Structure 1
Amino acid sequence: MSIPALVEEAIACGVTQMVLTDINNSTGIMEFMRECDEKGIKPIAGLEFRSNKRLLYFGIALNKEGMKELNDFLTEHNLEQKTLPNLAPAFKNACIVYPYGHKEPLRENEFLGIHYGQLNSLFNKDLSIIRDKLVALQPVFVADKIEYRLHEYLRSIDLNVVLTEVTAEDKCAPTDKFLAPGQLEAKFSRYAFILDNTRNLMNRCVMDYPKGRVNLNRKTFTGNKKNDRELLEKLAISGMEYRYGKSNKEALKRVKHELKVIYELDFCAYFLITWDIIRYSSSQGYYHVGRGSGANSIVAYCLKITDVDPIELDLYFERFLNAQRTSPPDFDIDYSWDEREDVQDYIFKRYGSQHTALLGTMSTFKDRSIIREIGKVMGLPKSEIDGFTDQTRAAVNQNNDTFRKIVAIHERMANMPNQRSIHAGGVLITEEPITYYTALDLPPKGMATVQWDMYEAEKIGFDKYDILSQRGIGHIKMAVKLVEENQQRKIDIHQVKIFMKDPVVNANLRKGNTKGCFYIESPAMIQLNRKLKCDSYLVLVAASSIIRPGVASSGMMGMFIKYHHAPDTVQYLHPVMEEILKETYGVMVYQEDVIKVCIHFAGMDGTDADILRRGMSGKYRSKKEFERLVERFHQEAVALGRPEDIVKEVWRQVSSFAGYSFSKAHSASFAVESYQSLYLKTYFPREFMVAVLNNYGGFYDRALYVQELQRSGGIVHLPCVNNSDSIVNIIGVDVYLGFVGIHGLNETYIELIPEERRKNGLYQSLEDFIKRTGMGLEHAITLIRVGALRFTGRSKKELLWAIHLLLGAKAKPNNNAELFCLEAKNYSLPVLVNTQLENAYHELELLGFPLSMNMFDLLQTDYRGEMGANDLINHVGQVVRMVGQYICEKTVHTKNNKRMWFGNFLDVEGNSFDTVHFPNNTPVYPFRGTGCYLILGKVVAEFGFASLEVQKFAKLPILPNPVIS
């Protein structure tokens, strides 16, 4: 049962007080107390401790300190990965209830819990010793028989067994539910003293937690609020002089205004802690990107938390902070994927393990995955489950009894919690020890993590610091380093304002030559920038937000592009809309636009406007409150004299847009990083693409980035034991693929091969290589087949003969140093040559793409289409045939809930083109994965960008594998 359902069921059964004891977690305690307080039931907090499936004991908190003791106890065992002991420690502020049958002596605060079904065992026993220790134990897991059956399904899924294999000890009892009023008293009527003991114990419990949302974050940075205020002002003024010089009156005025609001809202510590995190990471040479709503702040800019100038961009201060706001602004701090963990480690050490934890998240059961899980525990074969998840079989499945049963279970399971995990980057820094409010988990990251998510954290009173990672920063960092090593040129990557004015960089942006570049490399973003003819920072800032789904689906993206090219034709919905949205042609582009519209068009205050925005973005979960604000938007707007039809249209745009947009500062931060990537790609394309490959790529598969490398003049070589490293390396224009990209090669050898070569020189022969690495037959064959031993001058087939003769029937050779080096025997073999086609098949298998031949060369046909991608714009309205190499596809749902697809392909010259697949055609002509396709379609164009509306579509056969044939 969900907690609201649990409380409703308790009220219906006349319950006035109850203890929540979830098994080995305290995820629901705070929500439970809020719900009970609201409904007039006394809540008591606790924990049920189990080892494997065996109940050890219940912990019941007498007060807030007792809950901390229980949480600390569980946390210690979670973090140190120790098994829970059979006997609980002596708690000062918590009681322990052992299950009836426990034989050890009981301490003062320890009791025996007895179920009414066990009362017969008390008959004719001397109860004098345990009379005061017996309490009634009535577990509640489910509400009724239907929920009990659902419980059985959930236990089957958890244990990964079919339903019939779930034993009694694997699940709760059918009687584990609330009893009707008076039933419990009746069952214990012969032992009324047990109920008296139970009431006495529960009456002692007082959950003395603060009611409502309070600020539980760390309250000061220096230990003193006055000192915090003085330090923040000193840092902000000093930073302002660094950013703007000493005589910028506008900047000084805005800094002082912001500082006043920050003081009044008591957010000094939040800013200073964020500054401290940046100070540490900068001292380590880490590069960061600061974004989120906090990036609208000039104080954040002056503290170097962000690199977005709010004066230059005219950022809307009230999106960042308004006088009614209760929670601090969001700072999303991005680091390279390989540096973030060190920053998190610093935070834990700097602010203390008792006061620091990662934020959790709750994954839920989702659509198709539920059907698969239910099908598995029902024992259905995979083929039948696949049929139930196939959208094209929906009509057939409706008449299937098994499918209807699955759907009935699906309806109850949908969106139920599945498992706890870690939030993408949230860190909590608290004033009190965090275990007052939760026990802590130790996920694979190895850092303590709370047991609830961001929504619960906010309701309790915690605000997160977002310490995130992204590949784009890794690309930039490594590319700068590679340019310095390979070309002996130092780049100041922070000179972004120079990059923004570079005509060559902007020409690449306009043309869509942006593959590999952060946030602007996807087909959709390339298409948008080409339609906009985007060639400036400010236009890219807008593009970074209007690409989001809400803007696109509401028709506002098309409107923005149209008005961008013809600003004189803009038709504003209302004079107020012109006043507040003139910069974006009356179109809402940024999150703050929603707040502007709510405040200036609908007359709402800043707090309600921000709650409305957050409600639409899914970050505020009070449905009742949200609906009240929606109604208020309409009422207030009409009261201001706005015409009703205009109000409805404005609301349509607000509601379709707000959930998916960025704040302007957020978009600006992304655009800064995009320009850094694009500058590197423009002037140092080879080093940049090597960096992209070595930071695990981006939007596309590795194959595309290798092709981009080749297009930029890089000579790409297959892995080689005498030239390759674990990752891709570059010397001049020569690029050697790394061992890490070879499928099936053991991690040990990925590092060992280059390390041994650096220590003891180049490998001299196959035998020398095997002796020095100690490699076995299987991995040696992999390296031979991928071409990594071609330095020997022998063909792959010769090497395969040799390796079987060397290792086929022997143990691994000893790789210890030898006193004498004996030459291996040479055998006379016929000439064995590998064909280019054989090599291509080896590379397909072991690298995922062919390097010896391109995908077009592998085709059985010589036909390459009627035209290339760059010629499409000259054939608008015509039906044409093209041959394209598949790059990627994207599925979207239409308003009628049908699916349609967008495809992206390369022509034989390596130029990109896009396809559109409408719902009526897609099931007949499906995508069939990587390869080349023959495409028949009509050329259409929008804002000068041509694409193909697909009419027919088929994957082309490639030449057969000569080894198999």
Structure 2
Amino acid sequence: MSGTDFCHLHVHSHYSLLDGANRIDDLVAAAVKDGQPALALTDHGNMFGAIELYKKCRAAGIKPIVGCEIYLSKGSHREKHHKTTNPYFHLTLLARNEVGYKNLVQIASEAYVNGYSMRPRVDKAFLAEHSAGITALSGCLSGEVNRLFLDGQEEAAIQAAGDYQDIFGKEHFYLELQRNGIHIQTKVNEEMVRLHQRSGMPLVATNDIHYLRKEDCQAHDVLLCIQTNSKVNDEKRWRMDTDTLWFHTADQMKAIFRDLPDAVRNTVVIAEQIDLQIQLGKYRVPKFVSETKESSEELFRRLCGEGFRRLYPAPSAQHHDRLEMEIEVIKKMGFVDYFLIVWDFIRHSRAIGVPVGPGRGSAAGSIVAYCLGITQVDPIKYDLLFERFLNSERISMPDIDIDFCRDGREKVIQYVRQRYGEECVAQIITFNTMASRLAVRDVGRALDIPLPEVDRIAKKVPDGPGASLKAALETDAELKEIQSSNPEYGRLLDTATFLEGLARHAGVHAAGVVIGDSPLKDLVPLYRNKEDITTQYPMTDLEDVGLLKMDFLGLKTLTVLEKALELIGRHRGEQIALDTSAFDDPKTYELLSQGKTLGVFQLESEGMRKLLQKLKPDCFEDIIAVLALYRPGPLGSGMVDTFVECKHGRKAIKYLHPALEQVLKETYGVIVYQEQVMRITNVLAGFSLNEADGLRKAMGKKKPEIMAKYRQKFIDGAGANGVSKKVAEEIWTLMEFFGGYGFNKSHTTAYAILTYQTAWLRANYATEFLAANMTCESTDTDKVKEFLDECRASGIELRPPDVNRSEKEFDLEQAAIRYSLEAIKGLGAKPVEAILATRSAQTPPRFRGLKSFCRIVDPTQVNKLSIEALVKAGAFDFTGWDRGVLFAEIEDAMALGAERQRDERAGQGNLFDLLEEAPAPRAPGAGTGAEEEEKPSYPAAVWSARERLIREREAIGFYLSSHPTTRVESLARALRTSTVAEVDPSAEEAVLVGLVNALSVRIISKGRFVGQKMARFVLEDTTGTRGVVVFAELYNRIRDMLQNDLVVTVRGKVSRRPDEEGPPEIIAEQIEPLEHALRAFNGVVEIRVRPEEIEKLPSLLPLCERYPGSRPILFELELEPQPRRVRSGPGFRVHPSEGFLEDVQKILGADRVALRKLVAQRS
């Protein structure tokens, strides 16, 4: 082995979660730079990084040493231990060969699956059974031998070392020395050296690496604080007792152990004994066991034939040839069992009623997948290419990802477990890393920087996929200024940059499932994540070791479709089969052309709606194209505009060669799909479709050296087919430009089916479709509110929750939608199930009032908070009592209910139990005993309209029964304001009346107003919401007035940055409470009175005294045959405030009072 005569054997990466701070790339680079011949990875209790280390060391030309620092239990590892000071020991294990690697996999798996108690543990008995091929080092200060020496138990320490020699063999157990400046470590080292001198047990020098550079010590210390949820300045917190755990060079290690050169050389002796070859790239597809006596290939061919005859009753030669070609390629590549496994669980899914998507990814380009029912896309009809999915010249596992109904996905995974064995199936681990903002918040908490300051800085940091704090600090002047303005902020950002991207904790991959051809614990290490068993290797590493990986994706859209169809069947008696759609419904294309796509799969964004309004799709191919076009690349390249203009004939379609028309006709001459690039090279230059797929891949990755070879081949091939060099070069340039933006047509075609199906339901069964969407979004208040607004815009009534009428999910009630019980905040699945079960047990199945409800529901399932939420949401409005009255009654009703339940259990009764209960009257009065029982004890505890709505929003998340601005709409109109929906994005100014929501205040960090405060809030009215920005100058004037739930008038500039999607913000120039604005109103108060309401007019007189002002009242008497208008005299003038308006509405009802400009008096 070449290189220096030292290598590191005790090394922790960031996969020692929140303990190690090393990236494997950095460790490998450091070892290579120092000339070390090998590098070990010994993370705490796991092998998460083993394959990554193996690949990267091999690529860098050094030897990978796969290891693990295990936790060794004192007793049986399968017994949960009680918390003691040191319930387990550490031991460093290194795999010498394939046998050792497999044993290490077994040890790591057993520790998590059966031995987890505080830490993943195994015991000595298990270790002895799986010791072959493993070299062991005695470990750090937490090792058993070290611990016994520290405790003064010399004989026990010698015995323990002997035990390890017996387990691993004398030549494969080493006494591990670390010189890290810790006093007790020095003492242990002395004992270890004496033991070596007496027994001949070999020594080895290590450094327990936790971070890369000496200067990383402080950042690593912050990482430990994040792990233990402590502060850096906490004196009693856990911390490392040394600052030397960095990657030392070989020379530094030799200097540290100059008196023990053999301990240093032994690192290389151990490395030379390592001969581990992990086989990568060889696929281990499980054998499909048929229920018949057929072989896999026989069954595969039969199923393909049956599906082919069903789908193609009159096939052409092209269909036959395509099927035969695909079957032969799949057989040759050894993937027959793979296809049968997928066919089997999809078949089972449909059999148990779990909806399956029409296809996903390039698999939709396979006629075999279509015939097997794996996809529902005809690849011949849409010119989809099998080679895009499976290239016989590029051996790689096919990738068939499946969409399932979100609610049924777990049933399918459970079937796969049962079918192939629990021990052969697992979900896949994933690592949640410290993203940029999370890193800032974590570090800020550890450094004990005040939360508002950390929050302010974190919001400056870019977030989302691809966001980088390091890159932002190089380019963002504001962040640079924050970093340099304050040493504390500098440390915060520097440390967060260091920690950014490190693994924070392990989770379960949202979709990935792996199926082994034998028990997985024999193939890869396993991990227990609460109740889930997952692999310890992440998805890419599993693919490298050849395991069959599949994505079982839970797609909400399939759940929406299922629920919508169920509602249609239950309420209309219609059974609809969406998969037989002809994609030719005019109403659907009209809906799409109008951009009315809330809830329509993939088409909901504002930008997509605008594109649809421009494009006006009128065929299924247009839907396929729009899904491919609405991406940053095509939108920025101008090809979308070309597509739209050519479709509508405003721009001529040009083909550089006549042969291109057959390929590009459906996309109006624009190259939209990767398959079109493949087809062009095939038609014009004679490329095989496998070669064309290679070009497609090179274009996507923009590899110039590969592209140059393909370019010459294309020009030569085109020339051989009679295409001039000039035209061939132009076509190549066109392909190179558009091909870089091309999308997978197979995927977009499959997804276009879901798009069409959801659009078709929205166009033809809007009520059911919107109800299904609200059920699926019930935990997302903002999304439910969007659908509520869509219902209102479509003339569909959304009725409030009702304990007697509501179901668990949103349901239909005549032509209206009834609000779901489970969507009420604070009312989870268990209380809802208890309410519905109790209701159905009644005769008739209903509750008669709040008191009877409390008497019969189980208080352990439906507690006080649940009942409060029901009352606030309006679920007891059927009683006729005000919500405030009912709310005041809850505690007494629950106490009475509990007493009744105790009496019933004791066999006692109550007089009222024998009486027929009836709904309470709207006002207290005489009645039956049951009515008297339901009569509230606090009839005066009425909520104002404002409080009623605020409480309703607490329970539902938004205003449902009304809106605080509803009663002032006429006042707003009189002030010549716009609604939110009416704001013209191109206008310079807007004046609005609405409710202040989501008010946030922040300190300005730069500019003229640095250090001062500014605000943002959401202004809401009955038509929608709009963001409002309040800069410092205005905020300083109104800060004491501005608060959430205040109705205000806002005048300001309409502001929109060119790159922004969504409605423009309002930059406020003036904000005042509506009451203030009304004082300046100089019109007339108009009150409309029906004939039957004339007798109520005297009740209005006290209002004139209560709300004195200067505005006259104009009574419009709706008399027959001629209405009359009567203007009040000088003694009856009012101030048209919100209170005045509300009181008039209480007397005469809603919509009976308005503000008007001054009009001529008529009498």
TM range (shorter): 0.7 to 0.9
What is the CA deviation profile of residues 933-963 of structure 1, one whole-angstrom value per residue up to 9, with x for unaligned ones?
Answer: 97978999x9xxx99877856898887999x
What is the CA deviation profile of residues 68-89 of structure 1, one whole-angstrom value per residue up to 9, with x for unaligned ones?
Answer: 2222233234234632246462
Where does 1:44-59 land on structure 2 (aligned, <5 Å)?
44-50=65-71, 56-59=90-93
Output the CA distance in 1 between the equivalents of 2:315 and 2:686.
37
CA distance 1:341–1:733, change in 2 (3 Å): same
Q: Give the conservation status (yes or no) of the 8 Å contact 1:531–1:561.
A: yes
Q: 3-state SS of the aligned residue for 2:551?
A: strand
What is the CA deviation profile of residues 369-393 of structure 1, one whole-angstrom value per residue up to 9, with x for unaligned ones?
Answer: 3222222222111222233234495
What one-letter code is carried by the residue in structure 2 that aligns with 1:294?
A
Output the CA distance in 2 between the equivalents of 1:916 and 1:559.
36
2:769 maps to which of 678, 688, 711: 688
Deviation at 1:793, TM superposition (A): 2.7
1:383 corresponds to which residue? 452
What one-letter code is carried by the residue in structure 1 that aligns with 2:177?
H
What is the CA deviation profile of residues 735-776 of structure 1, one whole-angstrom value per residue up to 9, with x for unaligned ones?
Answer: 331221222235432221111111234223322211212254
Larger RCO of the pair (alpha carbons < 8 Å, separation 6+): 1
CA distance 1:883–1:734, change in 2 (3 Å): same
Q: Give the conservation status (yes or no) of the 8 Å contact 1:884–1:907.
A: yes
Q: Give the conservation status (yes or no) of the 8 Å contact 2:1053–2:1069.
A: no
Output the CA distance in 2 between the equivalents of 1:734 and 1:535.
31
CA distance 1:608–1:384, change in 2 (3 Å): farther
What one-letter code is carried by the residue in structure 2 that aligns with 1:767?
K
1:729 corresponds to which residue? 811
2:45 corresponds to which residue? 24
Q: Give the conservation status (yes or no) of the 8 Å contact 1:387–1:393.
A: no
Deviation at 1:548, TM superposition (A): 2.4
CA RMSD of aligned residues (A): 4.6
Structure 1 stretch 118-127 or stretch 760-769: which is displaced more?
118-127
1:786 corresponds to which residue? 873
The structure with more radius of gyration? 2
2:515 maps to which of 407, 419, 429: 429
Output the CA distance in 2 between the equivalents of 1:935 and 1:651.
50
Identity within the alignment, %: 25
CA distance 1:238–1:352, change in 2 (3 Å): same
Deviation at 1:349, TM superposition (A): 2.3
1:898 corresponds to which residue? none
Where does 1:232-631 land on structure 2 (aligned, <5 Å)?
232-245=300-313, 247-289=315-357, 290-391=359-460, 394=479, 396-397=481-482, 399-402=484-487, 403-431=489-517, 433-435=519-521, 438-443=524-529, 446-462=531-547, 464-497=549-582, 500-566=583-649, 569-571=652-654, 580-593=663-676, 595=678, 626=703, 628-629=705-706
What one-letter code is carried by the residue in structure 2 that aligns with 1:115?
L
What is the CA deviation profile of residues 220-269 of structure 1, one whole-angstrom value per residue up to 9, with x for unaligned ones?
Answer: 66699993333222211211110011544332121112222222332222
Deviation at 1:599, TM superposition (A): 7.4
Q: 3-state SS of the aligned residue for 2:812?
A: strand
Output the CA distance in 2 between the equivalents of 1:215 and 1:225.
25
1:750 aligns with 2:832: yes
Output the CA distance in 1 between the equivalents of 2:716 and 2:497.
42
Output the CA distance in 1 between the equivalents of 2:993 and 2:600.
23
2:227 corresponds to which residue? 158
Q: Give the conservation status (yes or no) of the 8 Å contact 1:603–1:636.
A: no
Output the CA distance in 2 between the equivalents of 1:957 and 1:631.
66
2:847 maps to which of 759, 763, 768: 763
CA distance 1:799–1:463, change in 2 (3 Å): same
Output the CA distance in 2 between the equivalents of 1:779 and 1:870.
35
2:952 maps to which of 843, 867, 884: 843
Listed as ranges, the gaps of 5+ residues in structure 2 are 1-21, 73-85, 140-144, 149-156, 180-185, 461-476, 718-724, 913-932, 999-1016, 1030-1034, 1037-1042, 1076-1137, 1140-1163
CA distance 1:172–1:457, change in 2 (3 Å): farther
What is the CA deviation profile of residues 437-477 of structure 1, one whole-angstrom value per residue up to 9, with x for unaligned ones?
Answer: 53222335x44322333333334434532211111111111
1:717 aligns with 2:794: no
What one-letter code is carried by the residue in structure 1 that aligns with 2:772?
A
1:109 aligns with 2:168: yes
Number of aligned residue pairs: 921
Q: 3-state SS of the aligned residue for 1:431?
A: coil
Output the CA distance in 2 between the equivalents of 1:857 and 1:957.
18
What one-letter code is carried by the residue in structure 1 that aligns with 2:376?
D
2:3 corresponds to which residue? none
CA distance 1:573–1:157, change in 2 (3 Å): farther
CA distance 1:12–1:831, change in 2 (3 Å): closer
CA distance 1:594–1:262, change in 2 (3 Å): same
Q: 3-state SS of the aligned residue for 1:288?
A: coil
1:10 aligns with 2:31: yes
CA distance 1:604–1:175, change in 2 (3 Å): farther
Deviation at 1:95, TM superposition (A): 4.1
What one-letter code is carried by the residue in structure 1 that aligns with 2:403?
D
What is the CA deviation profile of residues 549-602 of structure 1, one whole-angstrom value per residue up to 9, with x for unaligned ones?
Answer: 322233322222222212761345788876743432343323434555787899
Q: 3-state SS of the aligned residue for 1:358?
A: strand
What one-letter code is carried by the residue in structure 2 that aligns with 1:25?
N
Output the CA distance in 2 between the equivalents of 1:175 and 1:224.
65
1:70 maps to which of 104, 110, 119: 104
**TM-score normalised by L of structure 2:** 0.70
Where does 1:879-898 land on structure 2 (aligned, <5 Å)?
881=990
Deviation at 1:304, TM superposition (A): 0.8
What one-letter code is carried by the residue in structure 1 that aligns with 2:783?
D
Output the CA distance in 2 between the equivalents of 1:461 and 1:560.
42
Q: Give the conservation status (yes or no) of the 8 Å contact 1:160–1:377.
A: yes
2:972 corresponds to which residue? 862
Deviation at 1:294, TM superposition (A): 0.7
Q: Give the conservation status (yes or no) of the 8 Å contact 1:518–1:673.
A: yes
Q: Give the conservation status (yes or no) of the 8 Å contact 1:859–1:958.
A: no
Structure 1 stretch 435-444 or stretch 513-522: which is displaced more?
435-444
1:33 maps to which of 54, 58, 62: 54
Structure 1 stretch 237-246 or stretch 177-186: which is displaced more?
177-186
Q: Give the conservation status (yes or no) of the 8 Å contact 1:567–1:585.
A: no
CA distance 1:38–1:220, change in 2 (3 Å): farther
1:704 aligns with 2:793: no
Deviation at 1:810, TM superposition (A): 11
Output the CA distance in 1 between the equivalents of 2:438 and 2:229.
14
1:89 aligns with 2:131: no
1:145 maps to which of 214, 234, 237: 214
1:819 aligns with 2:908: yes
What one-letter code is carried by the residue in structure 2 that aligns with 1:847?
I
Output the CA distance in 2 between the equivalents of 1:386 and 1:915.
20
Q: Give the conservation status (yes or no) of the 8 Å contact 2:587–2:764.
A: no
Listed as ranges, the gaps of 5+ residues in structure 1 are 890-902, 918-922
CA distance 1:486–1:116, change in 2 (3 Å): closer
Structure 1 stretch 194-203 or stretch 451-460: which is displaced more?
194-203
Deviation at 1:40, TM superposition (A): 3.4
Structure 1 stretch 717-726 or stretch 91-100: which is displaced more?
91-100
Structure 1 stretch 607-616 or stretch 340-349: which is displaced more?
607-616
Output the CA distance in 1 between the equivalents of 2:1062 and 2:852.
55
**TM-score normalised by L of structure 1:** 0.83
Q: 3-state SS of the aligned residue for 1:720?
A: coil
What one-letter code is carried by the residue in structure 1 that aligns with 2:910?
C
Output the CA distance in 2 between the equivalents of 1:70 and 1:236.
43
What one-letter code is carried by the residue in structure 2 that aligns with 1:516?
G
Q: 3-state SS of the aligned residue for 2:841?
A: helix
Output the CA distance in 1 between the equivalents of 2:996 and 2:510.
28
Output the CA distance in 2 between the equivalents of 1:859 and 1:542.
46
1:772 corresponds to which residue? 856
CA distance 1:752–1:123, change in 2 (3 Å): closer
